[in-house]
Amino acid sequence: MIPEHGRSTEEILRELASRGEGDTDWRGGRVFSLVYHAGDAHEDLIHRAHALYASANLLNPMAFKSLKQMEREIVQSTGALFHCSGAVGTVTSGGTESILCAVAAYRDRARKKKPWIRSPEIVVPRTIHPAFDKAAHLFGVKLVKVDVDAEQRVDLQKVAKAIGWRTILIVGSAPQYPHGVIDPIAQLGELAQEKKLPLHVDACVGGFMLPWLERLGRPIPKWDFRVPGVTSISADLHKYAYAGKGASCLVWRSIEDLRYQIFVATDFPGGIYASPTLIGTRPGGPIAAAWAALQGMGADGYLALAKRAVDAADALRAGIVAVPGLKLLGRPDATIVSYTSDVDVYALADRLEARAWSIDRQHRPASIHLTVTANHAPIVEAYLADLRACVAEVRANPSLAKSGQAPMYGMAAKMPLRRLVASQVRKVIADMYA
């Protein structure tokens, strides 16, 4: 309830702080994909930058020239990092918004260039992020999902086969979220050029990590604008750029393609309304915080963070393969680790959660996911010790697969009627709002 009388600033802030005390301990590295933390001093910088522009609104770039300039600088820095000096683009609220904007723009591009296509299709790997399913659902486009090989990279021959006269776009990931594997972007680029199709690279999770890994000498296959067929890239600032939440970047090679992102309404009595992203009001806080994160960290800061993250990921991988019965999935392309087990994976996840780790459970195949950041360097040994103990517990007591959350995850993963799974999940979420 809105209180009858306003409360004091101190009282409100005290209550807000105490409300968060029961949340998972992300500063302590117990969470693996939801938060990217680069230390308290950096956090303080992005909070203060955010506060300076918390009420500002980039809906009108004439009124907020400061924010427009920050957006331009963020996009130019991102384009340069991805080897395209003339790149253009927009800052959005997150990976999903960048992807929604890209799909809507490519749909409208096809409407203009290939008006005979009534049911447009986008060819994507099976491992593509569900933001593309959401975009397809919202914008009336069909996703044609292509299988992956044993290393979880999209199968090129199957991509070639999936392309038809209705195809308007090809998508690959750098890397994909579930196993951290980079799709063969150079080959997808050749295919895209051969078929005269655009190619979007979803680098939401990897965009601000892969360039530093390459500079550290890791063997990173080409995935950015150096691949001639790549026409656009989504890359999240609020992930490995360690910006505050609510910031991503959609970068285009050409202004001609960006144009399709811009929506204009001319009949509104409130005036001509133009908007390049999905949202109307564009909060200034996340843009200022993202700009501050790039400035505060600098290339040397990001290199140091990437080194810590990749060393932690390598140490986790080495510790995991040393446990009998555990197996890594995918390839060590980036800083994502994913593993499966010969004991029930979901029982293992329950046991790890009982030891205060926040666990990302995956399916097809059943596995556990870790997006590893610099903040995880100090917890590697503690995680591995708990993992060894939990594997032993589940091995000694296989009936753990029948208790806790394990049966629910197991059933949801295997149930053939996916619509039934969706309707049950929808009910659970609706109940949270009821």
C-beta of 95 vs 276, nearer to ligand PLP: 95
C-beta of 127 vs 231, nearer to ligand PLP: 127
Q: Which amino acid is at 160?
A: A
Q: Note the helical H segments in 322-379.
A: 345-354
Query: CB 19 → ligand PLP: shortest distance, Å?
Result: 23
* Contact letters for ligand PLP, residues 302-331 (x by CB under 6 A): ------------------------------
Judged by CB under 6 A, the stretch of 58-66, 201-209, 382-390, 423-431 that binds ligand PLP is: 201-209
C-beta of 202 vs 257, nearer to ligand PLP: 202
* Contact letters for ligand PLP, residues 148-177 (x by CB under 6 A): -------------------------x--xx
Collapse the DSSP code of 434 into the 3-class scheme (helix H, G, I; strand E, B; otherwise coil) and give the result: coil
- How crowded is the C-beta side of 33, counted as CA atoms within 13 Å? 19
- Running DSSP on this structure, what letter comes out for residue 148? B
Query: CB 21 → ligand PLP: shortest distance, Å?
Result: 25
236 lines the binding site for ligand PLP (CB under 6 A): yes
202 lines the binding site for ligand PLP (CB under 6 A): yes
131 lines the binding site for ligand PLP (CB under 6 A): yes
Structure tokens at 19: 């409300």
Q: Which amino acid is at 336?
A: I
C-beta of 182 vs 400, nearer to ligand PLP: 182
DSSP for 242-281 reads ---SS-EEEEES-HHHHGGG-EEE---TT--EEESSS-SS
Interface positions, 56-95, toward ligand PLP (CB under 6 A): 94-95
Neighbour order of strands in the sheet with 248-252:
88-92, 248-252, 230-236, 199-202, 167-173, 121-125, 142-146
Question: CA–CA separation, 78 vs 336, rounded Å?
Answer: 21
How many binding residues for ligand PLP (CB under 6 A)? 13
Whether the link from the prior residue into 3 is cis, omega within 30° of 0, is no
183 lines the binding site for ligand PLP (CB under 6 A): no
3-state helix, strand, coil in the chain (%, to 5): 45, 15, 40
Torsion sign (Cα): 109, 159, 226, 77: positive
- Chain residue at closest Cβ approach to ligand PLP: 95
In the numeric block, the tokens 């993963």 are attached to 413
User: Please, what's the b/e burial string for 256-275 (b: 16 or more CB within 10 A of its CB; e: otherwise)?
Assistant: ebbebbeeeeeeeeeeeeeb
135 lines the binding site for ligand PLP (CB under 6 A): no
Judged by CB under 6 A, the stretch of 65-73, 199-207, 273-281, 285-293 that binds ligand PLP is: 199-207
C-beta of 290 vs 326, nearer to ligand PLP: 290
45 lines the binding site for ligand PLP (CB under 6 A): no
398 close to 344: Cβ distance less than 8 angstroms: yes
Query: CB 129 → ligand PLP: shortest distance, Å?
Result: 3
Query: CB 177 → ligand PLP: shortest distance, Å?
Result: 3
Q: Which residues contact residue 64 at a Cβ distance below 8 angstroms, ignoring those fewer than 6 apart? A: 56, 57, 58, 284
Query: CB 225 → ligand PLP: shortest distance, Å?
Result: 18
Structure tokens at 148: 């992956």
Judged by CB under 6 A, the stretch of 108-116, 198-206, 259-267, 294-302 that binds ligand PLP is: 198-206
C-beta of 128 vs 343, nearer to ligand PLP: 128
Query: CB 405 → ligand PLP: shortest distance, Å?
Result: 22
Query: CB 355 → ligand PLP: shortest distance, Å?
Result: 24
CA nearest to 249, candidates 126, 384, 71, 117: 71
205 lines the binding site for ligand PLP (CB under 6 A): yes
Query: CB 5 → ligand PLP: shortest distance, Å?
Result: 38
- How crowded is the C-beta side of 380, counted as CA atoms within 13 Å? 20
Q: Note the residues at the interface with ligand PLP (CB under 6 A).
A: 94-96, 129, 131, 173, 176-177, 202, 204-205, 236, 248
